[in-house]
Amino acid sequence: MGASALNRPDSRDFARLFLADTPFIDTRSPGEFAEGAFPQAVNLPLMDDEQRAQVGLCYKQQGQQAAIDLGHRLVNGPVKESRIAVWRAFAETHPDGYLYCFRGGLRSRISQQWLQEVGIDSPRIIGGYKAMRRFLIQQLEASAQHRFIIVSGQTGCAKTRLLQEVANAVDLEGLANHRGSAFGKRLGGQPTQIGFENALSIALLKRRHASPQAAIVLEDESRLIGRIAVPEVLRESTMRAPLAVVEMSLAERVEHTFHNYILQNLSDWQTHAGDVAGFAAFAEELRQNLATLQRRLGGHRHSQLLSEMNAALVAHVRGNPEAHRAWIEPLLRDYYDPMYAYQLGLKAGRVVFRGSYAEVSTYLGEAH
């Protein structure tokens, strides 16, 4: 695949690139990438963090040309060959890909030139990460002016699953890798705030592009999803949006909670760490999650629930996971339900529909 085969121009058509899930080579240093990136980007840096720091210091003290010369000395010989090898492998696997650095400057031009020397055409993104990030901030502000329908309901109403079945929905909890409650941690940790905002802006852009006139469906979230903050510009807009409320029996919600927070979480942990270590980590996480609610629950109620949780964990390890329902039900009924009822009461004027899971799903599918 030579440069003459594709000869694709460098681009600043950010909307097209994001809508197409274009693969990106991010040539920034690992530290820069860790602070915030795009969902479709892979970090294949020109310089590592230490090399970048050395070149940056040289630039400040001696100017651009001296910094360029130092960069070439640091990334030379086998190091240079290894950089080109991984870029080439990515470009051959993703012939529609683009590369960028922070501002679309020296690092991406050098990377592009080195690839051209081995016959690979890999166009750059003009303006780099900084310009794309600015574009996504602007798009997030534009998306906040769009119409929304917010799905609400008591804890355990399978709202996330409902959103995943609705064509014009964006799953905020999925993007934040957190279920949004004290028990909502997921393996893999959460993205950075910037990474979340980038992914959110892209998801909203796709929904607006696919159905410009249709309302976007979101779940009713608090300000924080785990440690990730819902951008204020979006939160202000959704706090005025109409609500569709899912109604489920306590028994149904206990069942959903049991399946997702017990069976699924344990499966994830054991896949990650093995059966024994996975169960131990799963059990400790449950206890820690309950501990975060101790002040709100009060000492006596927390002690009761912890005792029931520990008894359930003993039964579980002996082959009876069903015992977890003994603490899940009172936690939902006596803690989460009153809190939800109070919060929904503050939003009562925004409720436009109430119904079962299936009825809300049908309503959302027909809403425009």
DSSP states along 200-211: HHHHHHHHHHH-
Tokens of 344: 């929904």
Q: What is the CA radius of gyration of the chain?
A: 25
Q: Strand 224-225 vs strand 228-229: parallel, antiparallel, or unpaired?
A: antiparallel
Q: What are phi and psi of 91, to 5 degrees?
A: -65, -35
Name the DSSP letter for residue 191: P
Determine whether 101 is an active site residue: yes
Please tell me whether residue 127 adopts helix, strand or coil conformation. coil
How far apart (Å, rounded) are the C-alpha atoms in residues 239 and 318?
46
Q: Where are the alpha helices (DSSP H) in 232-298?
A: 232-238, 250-257, 265-273, 275-291, 294-297
Q: What does each C-alpha distance from 183 to 129, 228, 287, 302, 367 come to in angstroms?
A: 35, 15, 10, 15, 32
Residue in 54, 32, 50, 53 with CA at minimum distance from that of residue 41: 32
How far apart (Å, rounded) are the C-alpha atoms in residues 226 and 179?
8
Which of these is catalytic: 37, 44, 101, 243? 101
> How far is residue 171 CA from its own chain's centroid?
9
Cite the active site residues. 101
